[in-house]
Each structure stands twice: as C-alpha cells, then as structure tokens.
Structure 1
Amino acid sequence: MERPLLVTDFLDRARTHYGDCEAIVATTGERYTYEEFGERVDRLSRALRERGIEKGDRVAVLDPNTHYHLEAAYAAMQLGAIHTPLNYRLTPDDFAYILEDAGVSAVVADYEYGEKIDAIRDSVPTETFLANDPEALDGEWEGVDAAIEAADPLTKAERPELAEDETITINYTSGTTGDPKGVCRTHRTETIHAYLVSIHQELRDDDVYLWTLPMFHVNGWGHIYAVTGMGAKHVCTRGIDADGIFEAIREEDVSYFCAAPTVLNMLGDYYDEHAPETTGARPVRVATAGAAPPEATIRLVEDEFGWYLKHVYGATETGPLITTSDARRHLDAADDEGTRFAIKKRQGLGYLGTEVRVVDEDGEDVPADDETLGEVVVRGNQVMDRYWNQPEATEEAFSDRIEGYYHTGDLATVDERGMISIQDRKKDIIVSGGENISSIELEDALFEHPEVADVAVIPAPSDEWGETPQAFVVPASGDPDDPGVTSDELTAFTREHLAGYKAVRRIEFVAELPTTATGKVQKYELREKVWSDEERMIGEG
C-alpha cells in the first residue's frame, strides 16, 4: 500500500493521540496542549489564506525559538505554502536578497528582528507582514495573535490537495562562498528525515525537548516535525543562555536537546563557576554536530554533567543528518576509555537508508585504512531535491566526482567499521611544504591545553612553505592581552602532541571567534582576514 508522505501528518497525529497533553511551553509563559496549539495553527492558516496566501507561495518566518515560529510553519504548510525560515543573525541586505530570490509573499516576524525587515520592505515583493508584537515595531505590522483571534479555524477538508514530491520548505545556506542558495526540500524528504531523527535520536512521546538549536537551521534539524509527531513536549527559548539552559533542564525535566561544541563549552564554563544541578528527574541526552567535539568536552558532558552525548553530522542540503557516532555495540566493545571517546568523536555510521561514501578524485571509494583522504558523498531519501532556481549549481552538487550523489565538500577518512572521520573542508586543508595538515587535528591538540577556551585553525600564507597553520585562540582567561600562556608555549605544546611538521607556527589571541547562530565557527571570515593581501586564497606549498 502506498500513501503520500506529508509533513502535515505530524501535527495531525499529535492532535489525534495527544490532544489533551501539554505540547508547548512558550517563552511568554503560556502552556498549550496539542489541541490548543493545533487550533491556533488552523486559525493562522485561515488568516494567511484571507491575506492571499495560496499553495506554492513562500511564507518566511523570522523568529527565535518561540511558539510563533512553530505555529507559522505549520499554518503555512497546511495551505501548501512553502515554509521559508530566516536566520535572524543576517543583515537587512541578506534578507532583501532572500525575500527577492524566493519571491516571498508573507513574513511572520518576531518583534526583536522586525526592524531589519522594515529597512528593506520597499524593495522586496512581500505584501503581508505579521509580527508577534507589532507595538514594539515602528513599521506597519499586523499582530499574529490578533489575526489568530479574528479568524475561524481552517478545516481539514479545506486544505488543498498535497503531493509528497512538492516543495514544502526552502532553507537558505549561510552563503559563505557567494550568495545564499535556497535548498528545496519536499514533503517526502522532510518526512523521511524526521522518521530517521526519531529513530536515531531515540525520540519518545514522553520526551521534553529544549529548543537551543535554532528552528531556522534546517527546520531545527527536523525536530519541528519529529518532536511534534511523537507527541513530545517543546520547551521554547529566545536564545542560548547557560543559566537558562540548566534551569530549564531542572524545572521542565528536559530529557533531550541539541548543542554545538561551542555551546557545550559555554555550559562547561558556567558549570565550573556555579556548579548547578545538571538534570531533572530523568536522564538527559544531548546531540552535537558540526566540528567533532574534543575529548575534553565529551568527558565534561558525560562524566561531569551525567548526560549521554550523541555526535551527528550532515549539511543543509542533506536533511541535514546523515551519520551518527552513537554505535553502541562498537562503543561497548571498545577496550579502553580512550578508544570509546575516539569513536564518539567520529562522524560515524550512515543513518538508516543512507549511503555515505568517501571517494577519491576519480569517484572511487578510498581504502578503509583511516588514513586516505577523500570527499564525503551521500545518497538518501532525506537529501534535498534541488537548489531554488539554480539548476547549474544543483547539477554540480550531484555530479562533481560521482554521478547521483550529493557532494558535501568535506574531506574524511573511513575506518574498517565504515565509520567516517571528517578531517577538513576541501578549502580548509592546510598544504604545507607538500604535506597535508588537518586543522581539526591541530584544534583538538590545542584544546587540550588548560589555557585554551576555544580555537580555530586555518591555513595562512607562507613564503617558505606555501601555507602554514595559524591558530586563533580564545584564552581561558577571557583576555587576549593577558592570555596566561605565550604563543611559543602553545607551539611547543602542539609539537609535543603531534608530528613536528603539524605544529602551529602562528597564533593570535582573540576575545571570540566569529560563529553562526548554531555555534559553527565561520572560518571563511578568518581566512579573508589572513589572505587579504594575497592574489588568491591558496598557497603555493
């Protein structure tokens, strides 16, 4: 039997089976059951339709992790409109590009970010502007709550006919190598990705999920669907705050959340100073992605906090999640704690139904020797359909080294178990005197030094070697003028732990690293700074 896979099924299921159960803890203090949440969504769907929003139209949501974001997403999708979440850390010019590129018809914005839309609203095609607190904004905005209260609920029978191969979300990439690209995801890709998240992240109906990962980031890694469909509880937030995270975990009995390694480090700093209780009545598991967490961070999370860490990996174009290091049979078989942590640091095994390969320049699989570098390519039902209005970029993404696979641009090795380990981005590998140096390996080594709080390593131009490693170090003291350690000492430290040719030669102490909203270090900003006087962004090493 075959039936279409539709994202609207997730909320429908929750309302049917968990209608009287608490669904959302709002940042404004309200608590909504799934039936109450669903009725607000139905009314907002009607309000959008009354303002001309139809199937296929794009509805942008500019909002931190509040209940308004969840309501706007589902309200749009029930109409067959395309949910287009916006990164709230972007500039007005960035928003102007996205709203124009996607042809956005309506924006639902949070009061804290609406002024960025006001600055460009005369230059974009958008006609409908809704805000959760219009009184806090100078421009002309309708109130979301007022629109909900004034509208009758849209009934199920009034929804348009939907097909699983239709685009239902557009997630814009961060645009680190040019203008942002709109990643088109269908009902089918979103649904299957949510199923995979539910399995591999072990979601249950009694979970309490804390929203620390931005909802705009690939639809909160699919948790806007998976948590809802399972009938679990959403605890909303307005940002990342260490005290607030620990308090929510205790007071709301949070059992699961996501955090980048930088967020985990922030929690560690707070823990060292305040020694808060780290759990409520139930165990906590936390998912981290992006850069591999240093062993010190894994030890902190599991040994000190008492949480279970899941390391996952992917890209906006891939769902995002395609691998996990949570391979417990391999973890249990580890002969010592160091081996166990080494496995946890790996990006790991492919998700169910996901074909993850590491291939050389000819598209052939690299040997499973955990030494030979190749590019990670992936094929799976959660991978994007295409880039919005960019057929050439789509073709390149799926046909560079090997036809039919999405090419991630990440370089990795693969071991005898088929577990991958990301070594670098293709553009971030350091080629020094003909030798390849992994910036991740250097960062890991530096992170072990007690005077290092955070670090990013990039290739820097070198007359002698072509390229040489340069580290930007956030000192544990917090003061780059008084870091508590010298550059020479850190160079010697890396030489003690790594092969001599890998030692970092240049170090700059900084107060903070440039990051995305999800905590991922923006290395391209550091590269632009270091290579600004060069004709091109690559060495002759």
Structure 2
Amino acid sequence: MEVPLLVTDFLDRARKYYGDEEAVVATTGERFTYDEFGDRVDRLSTVLQEHGIEKGDRVAVLDPNTHYHLEAAYAIMQLGAVHTPLNYRLTPEDYEYLLTDAGAKAIIADDEYAEKIDAIRDDVPTETFVATDADAVDGQWADYEALIDGLEPTYDRPEMSEDDVITINYTSGTTGDPKGVMRTHRTESLHAQLVTIHHEIRDDDVYLWTLPMFHVNGWGHIYAITGMGAKHVCTRGVDAGEIFRRITAEDVSFLCCAPTVLSMLGDYYEEHDVATEGDAPMRVTAAGAAPPESVIETVEETFGWHFRQLYGATETGPLIGTSATRRLIDEDSDSRFALKKRQGIAPLATEVEVVDDDGEAVPWDDETIGEILVRGNQIMEGYWEKPAETEAAFDDKREGWFHTGDLAVVDENGMIAIQDREKDIIVSGGENISTIELEDTLFDHPAVSDVAVIPSPSEQWGETPKAFVVPSSGDSQNPPVSGEELTEFTRERLASYKVVHRVEFVETLPKTATGKLQKYELREREWEDEESMVGQG
C-alpha cells in the first residue's frame, strides 16, 4: 500500500490521540492542549484562506520560538501553501531580498521585528501583513489574535501530494545571496521520522525551544515533537538563567542548541547556584560546530545530561551524521568525549561517504581527508528558482549526491570528523556567514583597497569573521581607517551576527601568478595553534 507522506499528518495524529494533553507552553504564560492548539491553527488557516492564500503560495513567518510560529507553520501547510520562515536577526534590506525572491504573498511577524518589514513593505510583493500585536507596531498591520478570535474554522484543506513543496528555508551561500532550500512533504516527513528515531523522542518528552524555528524548521522538531504528542516549551531567545529556570519548572527532558549555548550555560552555572534538571532526566543535542571536550564533560559530568552531536545542513534536513552511537562509544572510556564531539555516523536510510577528488571513498584511517557527500530521502528538492546552483550542488564528484563542501576524516568505525571546509563560509554560533558578502561590504569603504575575510578561531562562537585589509594608502602601519571604524561600517550594513570584529591591516594578500586569492595561506596561519581548521565552540 502506498499512502502519501504529508506534514499535516503530524498535527492530525497529535489531535487524534493527545487532544487533552498539554501541547504548548507559550512565552505569554498561556498553555494549550493539542485540541486547543489545533483549533487555533484551524482558525488561522481560515483567516489566511479568506485573505486569498491558496495552495503553492508562499507565506513568510518572522517570529522567534513562540506559539505563534508553531501555529503559523501548521496553518500555512494545512492550506498546501509554503511555509517560509525568516531569520529574525537580519536587516530590512535582507528581508526585501527574501520576500521578493520567494514572492511571499503574506507575512506573519512578531511585533518586535515587524518594523523591519514595515521599512520595505512598499518594495516587496507581499499583500497581507499580520502582526502578533498590531497595537505595538507602527504601520498598517492586522492583529493576529483579533483575526482568529471567535472565528468559526471553515477552511478547505486541498488535496496534496507528497512531492509538493511545503517549505522554503533560506541559507547563506558562498555567492552572498541566500538560496531558498525547497523541501517537500516527503522530505520533511522522512526527515522528522529520522529525527524522532535518532533523538529518541517520546510522547512524554518536554522539549525546550532554544534552537531557532527558522533553522530548517527547527531541525524538524516542529514536526517530530508535535507528531509524537510531546510538549513544546517556547522561548523568545537564549538566556542562560531562563533556560535553567524553564528546565526545572517544566521538567524539560530534551533540548537542541548550538554549542555556544552550552558554553553560556557552563559559564552561568559556575557563577550561580542553580539546579540543572527537574524531575525528568535531560538530554541535549548540539550542532553547528563541535564543542570542546571540556564543554561536553561539563554537560555530562556536572549537569548530568546525556550529550550527542548532530551534523547537518539546511539542504539535508539537516541530519547527515550523529554521535548518538551508544554501542560505538564506551561510556567508561577516557576517549568518550573526543568521540562524542565527532560528526558521527549516517542515520537510517541515508548514505554518507567521504570521497577524494575522483569521487572515490577515502580509507577509514582517520587521516585521509575528503569531502563529505550525502544522499537520502530527506535531501532537499533543490534551490528555489536556481536550477544551475541546484545542479552544481549534486553533480560534481559523484552524480546525484549532495556535496557538502565539508572536508573530513573517517575513523575505523566509520565515524566522521570535520577538519576543514571547501566552501567559502564561516559557521559562527550555528549561523552560516558568507565571506564574499563581507568582502563585498568592506570593498564599499573608500579606505579599503583589497580585502580577504576568513574564519578566525573564537572560544565563544567557534568561528568569527576576520578581515585582512590592504588599505588604500598601501601603508599597513598607518592606515587611513581604524579596525573599529570598519567594524562599525559592517554593523551599519549587515545583520548583527555577520559583523567583522577582527581586522588586520596588511601590505598585500597572498595570490597566485594569475591573481587568484589564496585564502588557504591566511587560514593556515590563523589556525596553526588549533587542532583542526574548523571552529569548536
């Protein structure tokens, strides 16, 4: 029997079997059962349909980890429309590009971020603007609660195919312009099932949202936690004290985060007398970069939590590898923390290979470096309206495999460990930053003659952007601009997490005889005291 895989099945199942169980703890203090949560979703679907949203239309969501984002995601997808979550840390200019590129017909925005949209609303194709609190926003915004209050759910759910695109997630690329990663009902459904298995999600789990929901749909936890009938505990951001408070108050059992969040929790714990668990045992998954072994040791030995590392990308759902390999890691071994920080082994129904330039698998000797390639049912459909980029992502060293651009070694058990990156990208605190975008921005400053941006080691963020600048005067000792001024220059033009805080003035940049920039020389020098050429933090 063949039954279509649809993401709407996750909430349908939760409502059928867990209707009276608590589903969502909102940031506003409200609590909703799955029946109540589902009713709010149905009413929002009705509102969107009344505003002309149809199957295939893109609807953007600009919201932190609140119940509004969860409701909006399912309300959009129930209509067969395309959930398009946006990073809430961007600039108005970024949103102008994203909304235009996606052709977003409507947007649902948190009142804290709506003003960024208001600044560019006349320059985008978006027609419907909904704010979670319209009274707190200047401009013409419909109020979320007022729209759904007392409304009788009457929306029509269209017939959907598992091959329909149901969400677009934007990821930073090496070319600077973000690319919209298209994911179908099928890819999202299988992605969520893999997350459920490898994160061991149960119906009695209480999940604390610290990982942004806009990151590949919260690594699939929008679906997995809901489908299992578990409980969502929402947050508006990352605050170490608040995380510990919510864990103990709500008996949280599971959270996912960037490694830098674990470092923040460790620092906070050292300075405050706080409990690390409620009545439920805690487990945590980190991704974005491997944390230092000392952080894993603190998480497991001091906090008493079970740690696992996840490796992935927006294009892959994100799960490519996981260190949740209990039979391959001896919990009594001194090497267990070094093994747990590795990117691990492939999940079920997924093929991962580390290959050389000819596409041949490298030996499992933990020394030979190759590029990580992956294929599986959870891999993206392609990049939104970018066929050339889609083809390039899949058909280089091996046809039909997604090429990650990450360079790794493989140990005797098949566990991979990233050593470097082929792509011109920085991963800072779990966020991808295009070095080319930063270089283009710095080139706009009249005192910059030439520039190269590379990742620099950061104890807090794993990696942080560093700019090597050739000043227009040619004199690196007395440049016509300071590093602080260039930092401020990028701050005024880029999202906060992309700001260049480290600047080194140089006479020349390393280049080939044909003038091609050799960033690798700069990276080798910058990372010579580190274990690998990628950030850990």
Q: State how far apart, in whole Å, the 2-side matches of 1:459 and 1:140 are.
A: 41
Q: Residue 23 of structure 1 aligns to which amino acid in structure 2? A: A
Q: Residue 59 of structure 1 aligns to which amino acid in structure 2? A: V
Conserved? CA contact 2:466–2:501, under 8 Å: no
Query: Which of 331, 352, 357 in structure 1 is aligned with 2:353?
Result: 357
Q: Deviations over 1:15-46 (max 9, x none)?
A: 00000000000111110000000000001001
Q: Could you say which residue in structure 1 is the equivalent of 2:477? A: none
| Structure 1 residue 526, shift from structure 2 partner | 6.8
Q: Could you say which residue in structure 1 is the equivalent of 2:204? A: 206
2:521 matches 1:538: no
2:280 matches 1:282: yes
Conserved? CA contact 2:174–2:423, under 8 Å: no
2:417 matches 1:421: yes
Q: Could you say which residue in structure 1 is the equivalent of 2:333? A: 336
2:51 matches 1:51: yes
Q: Could you say which residue in structure 2 is the equivalent of 1:482? A: none
Does the C-alpha gap of structure 1 residues 312 and 410 become closer, same or farther in structure 2, counting only changes over 3 Å? same
Q: Deviations over 1:365-405 (max 9, x none)?
A: 11111111111010011110010000000000001111000
Q: Residue 518 of structure 2 aligns to which amino acid in structure 1? A: I
Q: Could you say which residue in structure 1 is the equivalent of 2:306? A: 308
Q: Residue 383 of structure 1 aligns to which amino acid in structure 2? A: I
Identity %: 65
Could you tell me which runs of 5 or more consecutive residues in structure 1 were left unpaired when the two chains were aligned.
431-438, 448-452, 464-509
Q: Deviations over 1:413-440 (max 9, x none)?
A: 011111110112114799xxxxxxxx99
Q: Could you say which residue in structure 1 is the equivalent of 2:463? A: 456
Q: SS of the residue aligned with 1:329?
A: coil
Q: SS of the residue aligned with 1:287?
A: strand
2:277 matches 1:243: no
| Structure 1 residue 151, shift from structure 2 partner | 3.0
For residues 81-96 of structure 1, the aligned pairs below 5 Å read 81-96=81-96
Conserved? CA contact 2:174–2:424, under 8 Å: no
Q: Could you say which residue in structure 1 is the equivalent of 2:124? A: 124
Conserved? CA contact 1:253–1:282, under 8 Å: yes
| Structure 1 residue 530, shift from structure 2 partner | 7.0
For residues 347-426 of structure 1, the aligned pairs below 5 Å read 347-426=343-422
Structure number with higher relative contact order (C-alpha < 8 Å, ≥ 6 residues apart): 2
For residues 242-261 of structure 1, the aligned pairs below 5 Å read 242-261=240-259
Q: Residue 350 of structure 2 aligns to which amino acid in structure 1? A: T
| Structure 1 residue 326, shift from structure 2 partner | 1.1
Conserved? CA contact 2:260–2:462, under 8 Å: no
Conserved? CA contact 2:468–2:504, under 8 Å: no
Count of aligned pairs between the two proteins: 471
Q: SS of the residue aligned with 1:190?
A: helix
TM-score if structure 1 supplies the norm length?
0.82
Q: SS of the residue aligned with 2:77?
A: helix
Conserved? CA contact 2:394–2:401, under 8 Å: yes
Q: SS of the residue aligned with 2:149?
A: helix
Q: State how far apart, in whole Å, the 2-side matches of 1:148 and 1:16 are.
A: 22
Q: Could you say which residue in structure 1 is the equivalent of 2:64? A: 64
Q: State how far apart, in whole Å, the 2-side matches of 1:527 and 1:403 are.
A: 39
Could you tell me which runs of 5 or more consecutive residues in structure 2 were left unpaired when the two chains were aligned.
427-453, 471-486, 510-514, 522-537
Q: State how far apart, in whole Å, the 1-side matches of 2:213 and 2:118 are.
A: 22
Q: SS of the residue aligned with 1:87?
A: coil
Q: SS of the residue aligned with 2:352?
A: strand
Q: Could you say which residue in structure 2 is the equivalent of 1:183? A: 181
Conserved? CA contact 1:428–1:458, under 8 Å: no
Conserved? CA contact 2:92–2:119, under 8 Å: yes
Q: State how far apart, in whole Å, the 2-side matches of 1:222 and 1:208 are.
A: 15
Does the C-alpha gap of structure 1 residues 379 and 17 become closer, same or farther in structure 2, counting only changes over 3 Å? same
Conserved? CA contact 1:204–1:230, under 8 Å: yes
Does the C-alpha gap of structure 1 residues 90 and 461 become closer, same or farther in structure 2, counting only changes over 3 Å? closer
Does the C-alpha gap of structure 1 residues 323 and 360 become closer, same or farther in structure 2, counting only changes over 3 Å? same
| Structure 1 residue 174, shift from structure 2 partner | 2.6
| Structure 1 residue 177, shift from structure 2 partner | 3.4
Q: Deviations over 1:279-310 (max 9, x none)?
A: 00010001100111110000110011111111
Does the C-alpha gap of structure 1 residues 111 and 288 become closer, same or farther in structure 2, counting only changes over 3 Å? same
| Structure 1 residue 536, shift from structure 2 partner | 5.6
Q: State how far apart, in whole Å, the 1-side matches of 2:170 and 2:340 are.
A: 30
TM-score if structure 2 supplies the norm length?
0.83
For residues 491-502 of structure 1, the aligned pairs below 5 Å read none
Does the C-alpha gap of structure 1 residues 457 and 32 become closer, same or farther in structure 2, counting only changes over 3 Å? closer
Q: Residue 538 of structure 1 aligns to which amino acid in structure 2? A: Q
Q: SS of the residue aligned with 1:291?
A: coil
Please list every run of at least 4 consecutive aligned residues from structure 1 whose deviation after the TM superposition is greater than 3 angstroms. 427-430, 453-463, 524-537
| Structure 1 residue 264, shift from structure 2 partner | 0.5
Q: Deviations over 1:443-483 (max 9, x none)?
A: 5xx96xxxxx56537898799xxxxxxxxxxxxxxxxxxxx
Conserved? CA contact 2:285–2:308, under 8 Å: yes
Q: SS of the residue aligned with 1:213?
A: coil
Conserved? CA contact 2:179–2:383, under 8 Å: yes
Q: State how far apart, in whole Å, the 1-side matches of 2:108 and 2:80 are.
A: 16
Conserved? CA contact 1:242–1:270, under 8 Å: yes
Conserved? CA contact 1:243–1:270, under 8 Å: yes
Does the C-alpha gap of structure 1 residues 537 and 305 become closer, same or farther in structure 2, counting only changes over 3 Å? farther
Q: Residue 164 of structure 1 aligns to which amino acid in structure 2? A: E
Q: Could you say which residue in structure 2 is the equivalent of 1:160? A: 158
Conserved? CA contact 1:429–1:459, under 8 Å: no
Does the C-alpha gap of structure 1 residues 530 and 19 become closer, same or farther in structure 2, counting only changes over 3 Å? farther
RMSD: 2.9
Q: Could you say which residue in structure 1 is the equivalent of 2:115? A: 115
Q: Could you say which residue in structure 1 is the equivalent of 2:78? A: 78
